[in-house]
Structure 1
C-alpha cells in the first residue's frame, strides 16, 4: 500500500488529482484528503505518508470548522504545512501542485521550479517536484505521472 495525503481545497482540482493518483497507484493507493491548513497539519502531526501532494494556497479551516466559509485563504498555506512537518521532525516526499507560477519565500517571489530546492533545504523535506496546474490541461496528467515515477 502507498499512503498518500492529498492536500487540496478546490473540488475540481482535488477530483482530477485523485483520479491521476488512482490510475497511477491502482489498488495499492490508500488516499487521505485534507482541504485546509488546519486539517492538513492535524493529519501530518499524527501520520506518516509515502507521499504528500500539496497545494500551496489553502484556506485556514475546512468549511464548517471555524466559520461557515472556511476562513481566510492563505497564499502560503502550503508553507505552514511544511513548517509543521519540520516542527514534528518529519521528512516526507512531497509533490507541489499549484496554480501560481511563483511562491513568496523570505519576502521575495521565487519561480516554482527554483522554489523546490529552497523549500527542500529550509523545511528539510524531500520535494520530488512541482507542477504548475492548469485547469483541465491535458499536460497535468503527464507532469504528475513523471513526478510519481520519481517517488518509487
Structure 2
C-alpha cells in the first residue's frame, strides 16, 4: 500500500485498528509505476491526515527500520520517533513495533497490545 491509497482507504471506511508501516511509497507500485518517491515518514503523513480529517482510529506503527534519516541529514532513532508520535498524536498512537523477521519480540509485543485492547489473539483459550 502507498501513502495515497492509504489516505483514500481511510476516507472510504474507518478500521477498528490501523497497523501502519512508517515507510511507504508515494503511489502504489504497478506495472508501469515504481511507486513514486519513497517516504521514510509516510506514516506520519497518514497520521497527520487522520488528525486534520477528524479520523479517530487507534494506530500501531510497525517498521523494519531502527532509525530514519531526515532531509536535514539528522537521524531519528526509534525511541525518538516513538516519543514524537506519542506527543503529536496522543489520541491515535498506541506504540511502535520494530519488525524483525529473525526474532519474535515484535510478535509478542503486538499480541500484548492487542490483548490490552481487548482483542482476541486468535488462539483458543
Task: Give the TM-score taking structure 2 as reference length.
Answer: 0.77
Distance 2:88 2:95 in 1: 15
Distance 1:77 1:130 in 2: 14
Higher relative helix content: 1
Q: Which runs of 5+ in 2 are unaligned?
A: 119-125
Larger Rg: 2
3-state SS, counterpart of residue 79 of structure 1: helix
TM-aligned CA deviation for residue 93 of structure 1: 0.4
How many corresponding residue pairs? 117
C-alpha change, 1:150 and 1:116, in structure 2 (3 Å) is farther
Higher relative strand content: 1
TM-aligned CA deviation for residue 95 of structure 1: 0.7
Question: RMSD of the TM alignment (CA)?
Answer: 2.4
Task: Give the TM-score taking structure 1 as reference length.
Answer: 0.65
Which deviations, in whole Å up to 9, do the C-alpha atoms of 1:21-65 show, x marking residues without a partner? xxxxxxxxxxxxxx1100101011222121000110000011128
The residue aligned with 1:38 is 4
- After superposing on structure 2, the runs of 4+ consecutive aligned residues of structure 1 that deviate more than 6 Å are none
